[in-house]
């Protein structure tokens, strides 16, 4: 009898432990087994009925829902993100960019058949505030010099150089280092330019000779500006003519 009571108590303790840990053990079946085994042996029915474990509380998922997730944008923000945005206009006046294929115009000076003459014109433009670009073009022809020969002394040669520069030949220079001396009126130039220079010197009373020299003829062109409209270039061209700088408007491309 004592053994039966101890077994019943052990069953009750085991059922209570299972209920405490939350294990889903069907206590009714265990009670039915004990009842069927100890029926008719004087064991009280209360002792062999195990308490049924209560249902565990439902656990909430650790994953946040879409309504409470901090990363999910609010409905208003999502709707604004889907709306098309208007383009942002830049501040300030828009600048007209050169269009490809559209011709531009420039103001051109020259041609100059000596580098010195081109440098003098370029210097005047720079002092007047006009940026320039100089281009050299080979002509594929021989060059010629214009000389005043048989000058008796070096001193007389220097006096002649000063006179020629005053008469409009700024590139005049003494040629040679011993008697007789010669004075070249300008830099070597193509034949046509050399002949024109010689005629100007003869008009001023000088006896000159045109002689071929080594080298290749070239000419220099100076350009200013890049204008989209010819009218604008011609307006600026008239201002430069008033400064004594002869020029013409040319189409660049």
- Mean pLDDT in order along the chain per 10 residues (253 residues): 64 62 47 50 46 50 47 50 46 46 88 91 93 92 94 93 95 86 93 94 95 92 94 94 92 86
Tell whether domain 143-215 is in CATH 3.30.70.
yes
Domain boundaries, the chain: 2-48, 105-138+219-251, 143-215
User: What local confidence, expressed as pLDDT, does residue 67 receive?
Assistant: 44
Q: What DSSP state is assigned to residue 180?
A: S
User: What local confidence, expressed as pLDDT, does residue 11 receive?
Assistant: 67
118 in Cβ contact with 162 (< 8 Å): no
Cα 208 to Cα 226: distance, rounded to the nearest angstrom: 43
User: How many other CB atoms are found less than 10 A from the CB of residue 16?
Assistant: 14
User: What local confidence, expressed as pLDDT, does residue 224 receive?
Assistant: 95
Report residue 204: phi and psi, to 5°. -95, 5
Q: Do 105-138+219-251 and 143-215 come out as alike in CATH topology?
A: yes
Q: Give the H or E element holding residue 221.
A: strand 218-227
User: What local confidence, expressed as pLDDT, does residue 253 receive?
Assistant: 75
User: What local confidence, expressed as pLDDT, does residue 41 receive?
Assistant: 52
Strands in 103-217 per DSSP E: 105-112, 133-138, 143-151, 173-175, 181-184, 209-213
Cα 200 to Cα 204: distance, rounded to the nearest angstrom: 7
Cα 40 to Cα 240: distance, rounded to the nearest angstrom: 136
User: What local confidence, expressed as pLDDT, does residue 27 receive?
Assistant: 44
User: How many other CB atoms are found less than 10 A from the CB of residue 170?
Assistant: 13
Name the fold adopted by 105-138+219-251. Answer: Alpha-Beta Plaits (3.30.70)
């Amino acid at each position: 009898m004592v053994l039966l009571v101890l077994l019943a108590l052990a069953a009750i303790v085991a059922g209570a432990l299972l209920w405490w840990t939350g294990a889903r053990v069907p206590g009714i079946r265990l009670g039915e087994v004990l009842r069927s085994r100890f029926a008719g042996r004087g064991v009280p029915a209360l002792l062999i009925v195990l308490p049924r474990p209560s249902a565990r509380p439902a656990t909430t998922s650790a994953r946040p829902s879409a309504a409470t997730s901090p990363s999910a944008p609010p409905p208003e923000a999502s709707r604004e993100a889907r709306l098309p945005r208007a383009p942002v206009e830049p501040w300030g006046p828009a600048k007209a960019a050169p269009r490809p294929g559209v011709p531009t115009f420039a103001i051109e000076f020259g041609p100059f058949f000596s580098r010195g003459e081109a440098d003098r014109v370029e210097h005047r433009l720079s002092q007047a505030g006009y940026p320039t670009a100089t281009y050299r073009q080979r002509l594929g022809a021989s060059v010629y010099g214009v000389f005043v020969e048989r000058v008796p002394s070096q001193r007389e040669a220097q006096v002649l150089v000063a006179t020629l520069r005053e008469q409009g030949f700024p590139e005049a220079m003494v040629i040679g280092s011993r008697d007789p001396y010669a004075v070249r009126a300008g830099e070597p130039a193509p034949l046509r330019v050399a002949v024109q220079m010689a005629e100007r010197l003869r008009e001023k009373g000088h006896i000159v000779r045109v002689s071929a020299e080594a080298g290749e003829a070239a000419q220099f062109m100076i350009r200013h500006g890049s204008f989209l409209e010819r009218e604008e270039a011609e307006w600026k061209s008239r201002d430069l003519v008033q400064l004594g700088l002869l020029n013409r408007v040319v189409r660049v491309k």
